[in-house]
Each structure stands twice: as C-alpha cells, then as structure tokens.
Structure 1
C-alpha cells in the first residue's frame, strides 16, 4: 500500500447467526470494544487474537486513536503489523518505528472552512488539530490528553504553515461544552458536510472530522482489496458511531453489548460487552467452527 472472562454473546437471535462466509479477516475497534474500560487487553483476548492469526485469519485494529496511542496493542499485531488509525486517515506499521504507510489527509482549506462554519453555527466550539507529527489545540480546548509538545493557539493560527506543527492533518477535533453529543454531530453534518466527514466516538460532545470519504470502512476496504479479501469474508466489531460504516461494510458486523443505541440498532449481531471479552468470545467460536 502506498503513501497505508468466560463471556458468551448475548442471547437471542444474534447468538445463532454465523458469519456470512468463512472469515479471512477480523477488523476490531479498540476503545469500548477490544479493550476493557481500564484500557487493558485481557489474557483471553490476547490468546484469541493469536489463535485467529494461527488459523490464517488476519486481524486489523481499526481505531480512532492516533498512532502514538497504539502501544497498548502494539505487541498483539501479528504478521502484517498494520493498524488503521485516526478513523481511517492513516495506515500505520506498528512493527519497528511505527511508520505511516498511507495518509489520507484533511486539506487545510477544508479544515479552515469547517472551523469557520462551526464557529458561526455553534459558538463556544473549541478545536484541536491532529497531525502526523502530533496534536495542537486551542487554549479553550478541554485538557483530555495534554501533550507537552503541542502548540496552543487559535485554530485559525494553527492551520497556517507558520502557526502549527508540521505534517498532514489527520483529523480535526471539535468540542462543545453544552450540546448533547448526537445533536452536535447532526448540526455539524448539516452545516459542514460539504467540506469533511464528521463522526464521534467520545461520550462527550467531541467530534472527529476527516477528509470527505475517509472513514474506518473506506480505508479497511482498500486494505482488503489489496489482499483480495471480499467484504463477506470480513468480521468487524465496534461500539460507537464511528464504527457504523465499518459494521455495515463488513459481511458480518457485531455491535458490542455496551454500544451506542444507534450501533446496536444497525446490526442484529451483538457480542458481549467489552469488559466481558465479547470480541474474544466470538473469535473463539469462529475458530471452533
């Protein structure tokens, strides 16, 4: 690719449904899905991932996390070593130096248009800019994850060549202190949908904004096409709105029991919650079958 516990599934109809075809690839979100709430990977999950690889099933981590937050699963990426990060904006080789294999950037002009549009439509919005080199943010942006290397300035300044960190923009983040998360997402899509793709994975009103057409699903599709893997040969797991397209694209999509209501409604297949090793339980059954 160029510049890329003992839990079972929940009872009910989803329990008996099997993958659409013999799986060749498992694509799993991390936070709220593969990872427990304490951000750990359970021993059961580690064993299930390794067993899938031994069975010839590739495993891809597909996450909204930036590459620099992938240490928690770096040791569990097997043969190919690749992970899809930043909601599809980057494919990263986690073996060795963690180089970017592919970047699908949000152009500065579009990021600037989104900033201006959201400032007008939702006064009080604050922004951060995630680049291949790290994150910069505005003074009013919440201290979710303080980065000592960040440039702190208004977004309009951060989006200039001289004002922010170097490197392509992977995603823009927008936070509002008062909006309900889903309402903020709907508003942003209405007023800024011509410039970028909007989604969210946080319990707060924090939006993740990528270039038009960039999503977990679209980048996963590119990775699968390069391997000759069809959608019906993919099993995917997720829990939040940023997973919806991936779960729909994959032949077999599982919503975690702890997932957002929209995600639970999007697929009849529901895995046990992340704290109950739901992904591992499904993988174990796939291998046993």
Structure 2
C-alpha cells in the first residue's frame, strides 16, 4: 500500500519550460484525495520551493537542497545539514582547474561571483535569483552546498579534483548533466526521505518516488516503488536497471503514470 509519493522537480514534475502542467497538478490532487502524502524532493533552494508550494496551494512536505533541509507541510524545518567549515573553506578559496561557474547556497539564498542570465531561465516562474558577491570573502561557517555548472566533461575532471581534496568529508553528485554538487557527507534525497518517513511513521516500502538524475539515485533505490523518467541521465538507468522507465517530462509523463496507477492499479503500465 502506497502511503507517500516523492517527486523530483526539474526533469520530472516540471516540464522543460520549468512549469507544472495542469495534468500533473490534477494527478497530485488525486493522490492527496487518497490520503497519500506528497513530498517534493529537489535540489532547489527552500526559499524558492516554499514560494512555489504556496502559489500552487500544494499540501506537501519539502526536501530542499538535495536533502540539506526538510520542511513539514506547515513549513517547519525539521532537519538541516551544512558543509563543515573545513570543507567550505577550500571550496570557496581554492582555484580549481575548471571553466565551470561556482554557486554557493545558504539559508539566505543563492550566491555567485558573476552574472549568468542563462541560468535564470530555470527560475523564471518563481522569480528566484542569485546575488552577486565576492566569493573569496564569503563566510564559510554556514554554507549548505556548493554547485559547479558547466560542460559535463569538465565537471567529470573537476569531480576527480574535488574527491582528491575533500575525500569522505563531502558527498559529490550530479543533479544534472551540467551541474555537479558538493553536499555534506551522507546527505542525499534518500537519506532525507528515510528521516521524514521515520518521523511520520511510514515505511519506505510504502513509498513511491520519481526522478531523472543521479541525485535521485538513493531515493529511487530505497523506496518500494521507484520510477525513472524517460529523459533520465543514462547513468541513473544503468545503476537502477530493475526500475521501470516511463515517458518524458515534456509530456507530463508522471501524470500519465499516476492516472493509470490510480485507475488500473493491477494492470501493467506502458509508456
């Protein structure tokens, strides 16, 4: 019996224009009508997600920053985890051999060293934006996560550098082909969902989850009913070959899957 459904946002619930479609909103409402709890699990900042949730009047738990923050349906923060200063210090101060742009997140928002208007397209409907700062002079005592955005091959080389420098003091993952994230150790959507389920008295076996990127791997692999998007990173499909793959986010595939599951729970689904 499914008691909770968790959803990644970009590439999963959101269409390529970064909006939630009407069919998706209808399917989510049907889940709530069945008393199935909703969780939005995303790499996006909590400030942005709280705005989105309130605008759409979604009754949902929130896992933000790829597991660095958990919020109840009422907005209460029940979990927070930041990078330690000895990790944030070299991240922000060291000159890394990469062309990727660096982005720093803390509870106050999103910070970067130079204007990158193209990145704002993903946030056009929420209005969330970065603040331009001198990264070298930012405080390192409350950094939630650091993201590097750039070409995938460059990020792969950077990942090797970061792992050599930080070792097990940080968790590295791709939240997209062009985005490498540095998170606190043990911090991921799967661990956050497990903590939320324990708090709510729900077994992970009674959860379903949807995702498309490597930052969804732990979440999809831990639940009783994991589903991978058709537009997913090939690495994710390869790591979880036993999970079903559905359609593309551009066609609101999650809504089609959920509608079929709600109406025909005992019949196989075909994208």
Aligned residue pairs total: 253
8 Å contact 1:201–1:242 — kept in the other structure?
Answer: yes
For the residue of structure 2 that corresponds to 1:257, the secondary structure is coil
CA shift, 1:177, in A, is: 5.8
Instruction: Tell me, in whole angstroms, the C-alpha distance in 1 between the residues paired with 2:2 and 2:18.
Output: 27
Shift of residue 54 of structure 1? 0.8
Give the SS at the match of 1:245. helix
- Give yes or no for contact 1:28–1:34 (8 Å, CA) kept in 2: yes
The correspondence for 2:190, drawn from 213, 217, 221, is: 217
More helix by share: 2
The CA RMSD over aligned residues, in Å, is 2.6
Check conservation: 1:41, 1:72, Cα contact below 8 A.
no
For each residue in 1:178-236, what CA deviation from the matched residue of structure 2 results, as whole angstroms up to 9, or x when unmatched? Answer: 844445435533543322111122332x3211111111111111001111211211111
Of 81, 84, 87, 1:104 maps to 81
Q: Unaligned stretches of 5+ in structure 1?
A: 1-21, 162-167
Contact 1:46 1:76 (8 Å CA) reproduced: no
5+ residue gaps in structure 2?
A: 121-126, 266-271
Q: TM-score, normalised by structure 2?
A: 0.82
Matches within 5 A, 1:1-289: 22-70=1-49, 71-74=51-54, 75-78=56-59, 81-93=60-72, 95=74, 98=75, 100-115=77-92, 119=95, 122-124=97-99, 126-139=101-114, 142-143=116-117, 144-145=119-120, 150-155=131-136, 157-160=137-140, 168-175=142-149, 179-204=153-178, 206-265=179-238, 266-267=240-241, 268-288=243-263, 289=265
Cα separation, partners in 2 of 1:264 and 1:160, compared to 1, 3 Å:
closer
1:97-129 superposed Cα distances (whole Å, 9 cap, x missing partner): x55443111122221234467x35x35554221
**Partners of 1:254 and 1:195 in 2: CA distance:** 30
Normalised to the residue count of structure 1, the TM-score between the two structures is 0.78
Contact 2:246 2:257 in 1 (8 A): yes
TM superposition shift of 1:285: 2.6
Q: Is the 8 A contact 2:70 2:80 kept in 1?
A: yes
Larger RCO: Structure 1 or Structure 2 (Cα < 8 Å, ≥ 6 residues apart)? 1
Aligned-partner Cα distance in 1 for 2:211–2:152: 26
Secondary structure in 2 matching 1:188: helix
The alpha carbon displacement at 1:59 in A equals 1.0
Q: How many angstroms does 1:93 deviate by? A: 4.7
Q: Which residue of structure 2 lines up, in the alignment, with residue 6 of structure 1? A: none
